[in-house]
Amino acid sequence: RKEVEQDPGPFNVPEGATVAFNCTYSNSASQSFFWYRQDCRKEPKLLMSVYSSGNEDGRFTAQLNRASQYISLLIRDSKLSDSATYLCVVINNNDMRFGAGTRLTVKP
Amino acid sequence: ETGVTQTPRHLVMGMTNKKSLKCEQHLGHNAMYWYKQSAKKPLELMFVYNFKEQTENNSVPSRFSPECPNSSHLFLHLHTLQPEDSALYLCASSRGGTNEKLFFGSGTQLSVL
């Protein structure tokens, strides 16, 4: 089993749709979790941290489920500009593991 | 602008060439990293420097040689690369504490012919 797994997609959704991605991890001792966004041929950029209590930033909501060992990212009212690859990151004692990313395309 | 700058943005080199990638961070961070990103694969950590000391070498072939002269600058020296080394090479920095988030440079897209 991979240490961090993501559905590669692609997810193709219309503008205004709600879309959710999951990211599962194998190390139950993992301590910190992040979502990054990467546009084509560009560097990953931090989208949001994932807290145990869940957190929301505008149209984006991130949640952590320790019991089932996954994190999720929910995007509401998706925009064309949300088209990108979303990478999850799982960290344990500075050992940082990236998922391979989920590709999202938002269409008009 | 993330505060981490990488040069060059693109590099094409032959298998016998020697070249260097440069990274500079303007964030006052103490840790710097080299990652390799190949198509459809997760980012692969290559090297980590904390306070200029190399703290991780992730079984990287010796044809990749990092150099960190100070906590703001990081180099990756390349020699006798193979075509399978073609990838996006990303530099990143962090504050250097435990489980800190990374800030990435824009990357160098490397093609080895």
The mean per-residue pLDDT over the stretch B23-40 comes to: 94
Residue to mutate among B101, B108, B111, with most A CBs inside 10 A, is B101
Whether B1 has a pLDDT exceeding 60, the answer reads no
Which of the two residues, A17 and B1, has the higher pLDDT score?
A: A17
Among candidates B77, B113, B78, B108, which has minimal Cα distance to B91?
A: B108
Predicted confidence band at B39 (pLDDT cuts at 50, 70, 90)? confident
What is the torsion angle, in degrees rounded to the nearest 10, for the CA atoms of residue A38, residue A42, residue A43 and residue A47?
A: -30
**Smallest CA–CA separation between A83 and chain B, in Å?**
17
B76, exposed or middle or buried, with CB in 10 Å at 0-12, 13-18, 19+?
Answer: buried
pLDDT in tens, A37-55: 999 989 999 999 998 888 9
Please report the DSSP string for A12-70 in residue order: EEETT--EEEEEEES-TT--EEEEEEE-TTS-EEEEEE--TT-EEETTEEEEEETTTTE
The pLDDT of residue B98: 76
By Cβ distance, the residue of B40, B106, B109 closest to A100 is B40
- CB proximity list for A51: less than 8 A, separation 6 or greater: A62, A64
Chain-chain contact of B42 with A31 (C-beta, under 8 angstroms): no
Name the band, by pLDDT with cuts 50, 70 and 90, for residue A1: low
* Residues of B whose CB is below 8 A from A45: 2, 104
Q: How are beta strands B87-94 and B108-112 bridged, if at all?
A: antiparallel
Tokens representing A87?
């990478």
The pLDDT tens digits for B43-100 are: 999 999 988 888 877 789 999 999 999 999 999 999 999 999 999 999 999 998 777 8
Question: What band does A66 get if pLDDT is binned at 50, 70 and 90?
Answer: very high
Which positions ≥6 away from A82 have C-beta within 8 Å? A75, A104, A106
Residue with tokens 């395309």: A105
Query: In chain A, which residues have their Cβ closer than 8 Å to the Cβ of B101?
Result: 34, 46, 49
Q: Is A76 exposed, middle or buried (0-12, 13-18, 19+ CB in 10 A)?
A: middle
Q: Residue B2 has what pLDDT?
A: 61
Using a 10 angstrom Cβ sphere, with 0-12 exposed, 13-18 middle and 19 or more buried, the burial of residue A81 is exposed
Average the pLDDT over B12-38 and give the result: 94
Chain B: nearest CA to A8, how far in angstroms?
Answer: 8
Confidence check: pLDDT of A100 > 80:
yes
Q: Indicate the burial class of B107 (C-beta count within 10 angstroms; 0-12, 13-18, 19 or more).
A: buried
Question: Residue type at B41?
Answer: K
Q: Which residues contact B31 (CB under 8 A, 6 or more apart)?
A: B48, B49, B50, B51, B93, B94, B95, B96, B100
Q: B99–A46: do the CB atoms touch at under 8 Å?
A: no
Residue range A86-100: mean pLDDT, rounded: 90
**A96 contact residues in B (CB cutoff 8 A):** 45, 102
Looking at the complex, report in whole angstroms how far the Cα of residue B95 sits from the nearest Cα belonging to chain A: 12
